[in-house]
Amino acid sequence: MKRKKYLSHTRKSKRKERFYKKRWFWNFALVLLLFLSFCWLIFRTPYFKIKEVKITGEAKLSNGVQNIIGENLNFFLVNASNLSQKIRQSFPKIENIKIRKEFPNKIIISIVEKRAVGLVCYQKRLDDCFLLASDGSIFEKATKEKNLSKFLIANLEKIKIGDVVMKEETIKNFIFLEKELKKLRVFIEKVYVLPYELEIKTKNGFTLFFSKNDSFKTQIEILLNAFQTAISKSEKENLEYIDLRGIQKDGRGQIYFR
């Protein structure tokens, strides 16, 4: 005859005890309630809603930037990096932007606009030009005649705002060249950007030829030195061209002029 197990009344009651009667349940519920209350305080209360957006540097862009930021934005949900990238994409003319948050409900945005260092024009329509920035990008349509050098880039069929059409290093060297030539009373009019060289037409009537390799900066230094020491005043007055394409990065090679 088999024996039956006997379960005491106390053990049966313990098995049927509900979870909400447990101490850990109420501890968890209290923590959850505190967490949700904290989230409401941080993300829903009007106290942390952005009430002021201060934009410095470019007043013309204020309305557009304000529209991107929008309304009802929470201080803690503002990601400065993402917002900066979004504004840059909407305004290609911005060179630098800094976004700073001031607790509890203020954003300060500092904007620096790109400066035009030249005009990129269609070779067959010299009056149809775009502004070129120092980083080699196109950032705006030129709406009026500007006293800037014109860049005519070979094989560039379509000019679009935001496109990078030249290397930043090339632009940097060109700015240096233009500045130094002005000191010598030589003024640049047009720059033909070819696959392997730069052909620079001056308002003085002569042409400069440069190679677009790593020796560009060295070529500039040799040109400036030749203008001051090797080329006489009478030769400068009758110059047709100066060819520096034979100069290497170490300075070796020959310069030709006529």
What CATH number corresponds to the domain at position 54? 3.10.20.310
Q: Quote the domain boundaries for residue 59.
A: 49-113
- Other C-beta atoms closer than 10 Å to the C-beta of 120 total 24
Cβ(55)–Cβ(109) below 8 Å? yes
Q: Say yes or no to pLDDT of 1 above 80.
A: no
Same domain, 164 and 238: yes
Which of 66, 88, 113 lies at the terminal end of a domain, its last residue? 113
Cβ(190)–Cβ(201) below 8 Å? yes
Which of 113, 130, 156 lies at the terminal end of a domain, its last residue? 113
DSSP string computed for 135-159: TSBEEEE--S--SSPEEEETT----
pTM for the model: 0.76
Please tell me the predicted confidence (pLDDT) of residue 116: 93
Averaged pLDDT score across all residues of the chain: 85
pLDDT in tens, 5-32: 555 555 545 555 676 667 777 777 777 7
What are residue 212's DSSP bridge partners? none
Same domain, 84 and 132: no
Same domain, 88 and 104: yes
Q: d(Cα 190, Cα 126) in Å, to the nearest integer?
A: 10
pLDDT in tens, 98-150: 999 998 889 999 999 999 999 999 988 888 999 999 999 999 999 877 789 99
Is residue 51 very low, low, confident or very high in pLDDT (cuts 50, 70, 90)? confident
Beta strands, E only, the chain? 52-56, 94-102, 106-113, 118-122, 125-132, 138-141, 150-153, 188-193, 197-202, 207-211, 241-243, 256-257
Which of 65, 86, 113 lies at the terminal end of a domain, its last residue? 113
3-state helix, strand, coil in the chain (%, to 5): 35, 25, 35
- Percentage of the chain beyond pLDDT 70 is 90
Asked if the structure places residue 214 within a domain, the reply is yes
Same domain, 187 and 160: yes
Same domain, 251 and 181: yes
Please tell me the predicted confidence (pLDDT) of residue 136: 94
Same domain, 72 and 122: no
- Other C-beta atoms closer than 10 Å to the C-beta of 171 total 20
DSSP string computed for 114-135: ----EEEEETTEEEEEEEE-TT
Asked if the structure places residue 203 within a domain, the reply is yes
Please tell me the predicted confidence (pLDDT) of residue 150: 93
- Other C-beta atoms closer than 10 Å to the C-beta of 89 total 11
pLDDT in tens, 143-198: 877 789 999 998 888 899 999 999 999 999 999 999 999 999 999 999 999 989 99
Same domain, 125 and 222: yes
Cβ(86)–Cβ(67) below 8 Å? no
pLDDT in tens, 227-252: 888 888 888 889 999 999 988 888 88
Q: What is the pLDDT averaged over residues 203-218?
A: 90
Q: How many domains does the chain have?
A: 2
pLDDT in tens, 69-79: 877 788 888 88
